[in-house]
Amino acid sequence: MRQLQIKKTKLFSILLAVFFLLGVAVWYFFLRVTPRFEESVKVNVDKDIQIEQLENGRVVAITSNTPYYPYFMVGKKNFYLTEWRRNNTNRLPRDDQQKDGEYYYLHCYDLNSKKEEKKLDLYEIIRKYDSKLGIDLSVSIKIVFYRGADYLYIGLSKENKGAPVHYKDVLVNTDTEEVIDCPKDILNQQREFDLAISATGLSKRVWDTYNVDISDAFLEVSVTKNMKIHENLNIYQTYPKLVQKLNQGKTRLFVRQDENSQEEWFNILMRWFAPTGEEKLSLTITDETTGEVTSINSYQDFLVWQESHSKKEENKE
């Protein structure tokens, strides 16, 4: 009787072990969530990238042979390429702390030699700055020139009642890796340029006519529509082969970052998109209140107009 009880106990233990192993197998092969990683485009800079400097080095053309254009940025002496790996498995919105298998690098290359000078581990830099913060991946990063150095503009997130939210924007010095709060004058400069290309109709004009997207830092041609840069423009007459690559979506143009890069970029765009032989594109700003039309022949003209209208608004108050 006792032996029968022992046999039953052993049999039960064996069955329990079998069911446990079976459950583990079912979980592993059928129920386990396989990590879903998303990665940036892999680029061989030596073989896949061509760099051309235009306008006495004030503009940089980067041509890529990769099927999906990688994310480049240009500073004063370097160009930059991001490399990242992100785990999208069961990720909550704005859950921006680094997870297993994830990375976020900024590669820094010399503009003349294309040699990599250093690689910044952005997650590690932010962790040293404040371990409670994460990188807000919904904020577009960019290179900005500030106080004589290239900085990476990046957003940070912070947990708020369990749900990470955007906390603030910072600048990362690409040389020293120092992290500082983003100064207001950087954001004001960006808004100023955005207002200039919007108020003068420059951005809408080149987009509606040529499908060209411009910002304070770069220019690219969208190939989703049957529009392209025409032959009767100054930019085509000056750089015909380059425009052909732009129209094919292989090339982007970047303004070389400097203290005066926004003004130079605006004036270059006015000249490039003027009809062949004309000195500059004809731009105007119309006062919405009075209907007064002001001719804009340079970025300085826009700044003068902006200053005068700012004073008018102050006087109204």
Question: What are phi and psi for residue 73, nearest 5 degrees?
Answer: -140, 155
Q: Which helix (H) or strand (E) holds 54?
A: strand 49-54
Q: How far apart are CA 300 and CA 266, in angstroms?
A: 10
Total-model pTM: 0.82
Backbone φ and ψ of 191, nearest 5°? -65, -35
Which H, E and C letters describe 6-18, residue by residue?
A: HHHHHHHHHHHHH
Integer Cα distance of 177 and 129 in angstroms = 10
d(CA 213, CA 221): 6
| pLDDT value, residue 21 | 63
The pLDDT tens digits of the residues spanning 19-34 come to 666 655 544 444 445 5
Q: What is the pLDDT of residue 299?
A: 96
Record the tokens describing residue 279, joined without a space.
């000195």
The reported pLDDT for the residue numbered 99 is: 81
CB 201 within 8 A of CB 283: yes
If residue 265 lies in a helix (H) or strand (E), which one and from where to where?
A: helix 261-272
Sorted by where each begins, the domain ranges of the chain are 37-182, 189-306
Residue ranges for the chain with pLDDT beneath 50: 26-32, 315, 317
pLDDT recorded at residue 31: 46
Residues 81 and 71: beta-carbon distance below 8 Å: yes
Q: Which residues contact 141 (CB under 8 A, 6 or more apart)?
A: 73, 82, 152, 153, 154, 155
**Residue 131, CA distances (Å) to 98, 135, 137, 147, 217 in order:** 11, 11, 17, 27, 31
pLDDT tens-digit series, residues 148-198:
999 999 999 887 766 678 889 999 999 999 999 999 988 899 999 999 999
Q: What pLDDT, on the 0 to 100 scale, is given for residue 18?
A: 60
The tokens for 259 are: 């203290």
